[in-house]
Structure 1
Amino acid sequence: QLIEDRGTGVGSRIKGHCRYRGRWFDIMCGKRGNVCITSEYKMFQTCVYCFEQLKHSQFVEEKNGKIIKRLTKGSLMYINPECVSRSAKSRDTFSSLAIGLSGRTSCVLGVPIPHFSPNQISQYEIEKYKTRASALPRIRED
């Protein structure tokens, strides 16, 4: 099971809703099985296929004769035209894929994906990631 590391949110209010998740949640999850804490840094703004920046999709609305651009905050738009996945995706589905990929990589390799690392990406970190990833056995296609 993968859980986030971005604070516990005890007592904070988000859009009128209280976040009731503290240290007890991490302990409770740990009693049921293995837990890996993964970083959420840039998870929601980076494409997992090409690692390019994502943007919120926009729509144009006319109100009282004025044209207004509004963001659609529930979906993300791909900017890279050469990406494998060139369409708008649901933010929740995409985020769970990114968290799973980053957490799995951190567990297997011991190093986060450089694009999701909160530290500045150095050439050394990229080489370390490539070295550990190349040591994994390849899947053979027969």
Structure 2
Amino acid sequence: MLLNHGVYHGHVLHYIAGFICRRLKEKIVCSDCCAFLSRSNRALADSTLTHKKNRGGLIFVSYDFRQVVQAADRSLRRLLTTAKGGPLSSVSSMTTRLVTLEVTETLRTKVFIGLNQHSADHHRIARSISPDYVYSGLSNVKYIKI
């Protein structure tokens, strides 16, 4: 997770989102739901780093998946910078719940629209992405200057 919004922030988020997508695809059994996580069209501007690092095995996430990861990143950065007593240094279940709740409330009707027939899966997918991002983001916080 990056606290500075530099040129590469979106590229790194896309790369991390691919990692989270791979882990999530192992847990989801519904092929329709899995189809909404990644894409074959690799034309998104934020996928430059993923293109450079790809040797054939990296995942290019869908627009909706990227929206959820970006919302989780914004929420987590807000928590990191506004925490009383200084920045958070470890993952707590409360941090994960707060980020997940904010993401699902913010993007409730904006992502994974095609999964309306799987209404339970629609929100379960969004709720599954946020905790994975929180754990991967906060595991690297000690290496980031605030």
TM over 0.5: same fold? no
More strand by share: 1
TM-score, structure 2 as length reference: 0.28
More helix by share: 2
Larger radius of gyration: 1
TM-score, structure 1 as length reference: 0.29
